[in-house]
Amino acid sequence: MLLAALAASSIALATSAQAPAPDNALTLERAIQVALDRNYDLRRSQYQALSSEQDLVIARSAILPRLDFNGSISRVRQGSGTPIVGGVILTPRPTEAFWSYVGSVGATQLLFDGGKWWNNLAAAGAQLASTQASIDEQRLNTVFTVEQRFYELVRAQRQLKVLGDAAIRSRDQAEFTQRLFDGGRATQADVYAARANRDNDEIVRLTQERLVEFARQDLAQTIGWNPAEALAIVEPPQMQQEPSTPPPAEQAVEKSGITVHEDFDGEFAAKVTTGRYEWTRMAGIQVGGPSNG
């Protein structure tokens, strides 16, 4: 039962490895763009910058004129009754209702506080510049981390494909050895060795499949991907191309601006002097001795 499950998992891997990428698969450029929009650390830096901007506005408001206004309106109702003042009964008073208005205006202006306002304003400006620089740093760090984990996932997937192919070959080899044993052309030990090799390759493939999921999880966490959505990537097209041929040596020398000579003789050779130090140094290097005599 276990061997059948391992063989079935190998077949499933071979089929999935050859399947085309889904339509919503992320390219490297798209992954970077998603990370710049959703990365938690970058968004936290942006919120800190917004908070620093408000702190700068508050610090600047301390040196600006301040105008305060307060106003209120109310309606007062006084019930009827007979007022008594000093034991004397006055004329009864009917029920009355009247409006009450209150208003005040105040203006303040800071003239001198020992330079405290200047220090607060400078500190708020420096804090804002620091948070804005942190945004740029975090943005570069985010792009670098996305590229690193993207290529790590590509590497893990490619390694998984190689191990999957090796597991399929081991399975085929085990089946072929079994047929040879049935035909009397292989021993039971050969069959056991082929099966052990097949199972070991399948275990290595399953381990690599776990590493692929870890790499996929790291990339999803970096770009802020929704855990409920499957994450698939598209390998950069330049990774499928053959490496370019290096330029000829003559072209590299010409581009570097170095003067070279075809022959070591004549006037050029006369300018080069050698002595005991040079010879003993080179001899020491050749035989593994000291660099000079």
pLDDT digits over 218-254, tens only?
Answer: 999 999 888 778 889 988 877 767 767 777 877 777 7
Total count of residues recorded for the chain: 293
217: its two tokens? 């999880």
Give the range among 83-92, 98-107, 146-155 with minimum mean pLDDT.
Answer: 83-92
What single DSSP character describes residue 241?
S
Q: Which bin fits 4, alpha (ψ -120 to 50), beta or left (φ > 0)?
A: alpha
Question: What per-residue confidence (pLDDT) applies to 81?
Answer: 75
Give the tokens for residue 60: 């600047």
- Residue 134 · residue 45 · CB < 8 Å: yes
User: Structural domains in the chain?
Assistant: 10-47+117-223 (1.20.1600.10), 249-287 (no CATH)
pLDDT of residue 167: 94
List the end-to-end C-alpha distance of the chain, in Å, as a whole number. Answer: 74
Region 244-265 average pLDDT: 73
**For residues 124-128, average pLDDT:** 90
- With a cut of 70, say whether residue 134 has pLDDT above it: yes
From its phi and psi, is residue 114 left (phi > 0), alpha (psi between -120 and 50) or beta?
left
* Per-residue pLDDT at 292: 47
What sections of 183-263 are H helices per DSSP?
A: 188-223, 249-256
**How far is Cα 274 from Cα 282, in angstroms, rounded to an integer?**
11
Please tell me the predicted confidence (pLDDT) of residue 166: 94
d(CA 155, CA 160): 8
Q: What is the pLDDT of residue 1?
A: 41
Average pLDDT, the chain: 81
**Who has greater pLDDT, 92 or 280?**
92
Characterize the bridge pairing of strands 96-108 and 66-78: antiparallel
pLDDT greater than 60 at residue 128 = yes
Task: Check residue 160 and give its pLDDT.
Answer: 95
Decide: pTM greater than 0.75: no
* pLDDT at position 91: 76
Residue 185 pLDDT > 90, yes or no?
no
> Which backbone phi and psi does 31 adopt, to 5 degrees?
-65, -40
Query: What's the rounded mean pLDDT across residues 162-191?
Result: 92
Assess contact for 145 and 41: CB atoms under 8 A. no
Mean local confidence (pLDDT), 58-82: 84
- Burial class from Cβ neighbours inside 10 Å (0-12, 13-18, 19+) for residue 98 reads exposed
Residue 291: pLDDT over 50: no
- Whether residue 107 has pLDDT greater than 50: yes
- Would the pLDDT of 278 be above 60? no
Planar angle of CA 172, 176, 178, nearest 5 degrees: 120
Residue 17: predicted pLDDT: 45
Contacts of residue 125, defined as CB under 8 A and 6 or more positions apart, other chains included, come to 56
Say how far apart CA 221 and CA 25 lie, in whole Å. Answer: 16
User: What is the SS3 assignment for 279?
Assistant: helix
User: Average pLDDT, stretch 54-79?
Assistant: 86
> Does residue 281 carry a pLDDT above 60?
no
Of the listed ranges 39-53, 66-80, 154-168, the one predicted with least confidence? 66-80
Q: Which of 106, 184, 142 is nearest to 33 (CA)?
A: 142
Mean pLDDT is lowest, of 184-188, 210-214, 237-241, 276-280, for 276-280
Which whole-number Å values give the CA distances from 72 to 68, 99, 100, in the listed order? 14, 11, 8
Report the C-alpha gap between 118 and 103 in whole angstroms: 34
d(CA 183, CA 145): 56
Give percent of the chain with pLDDT exceeding 90. Answer: 37
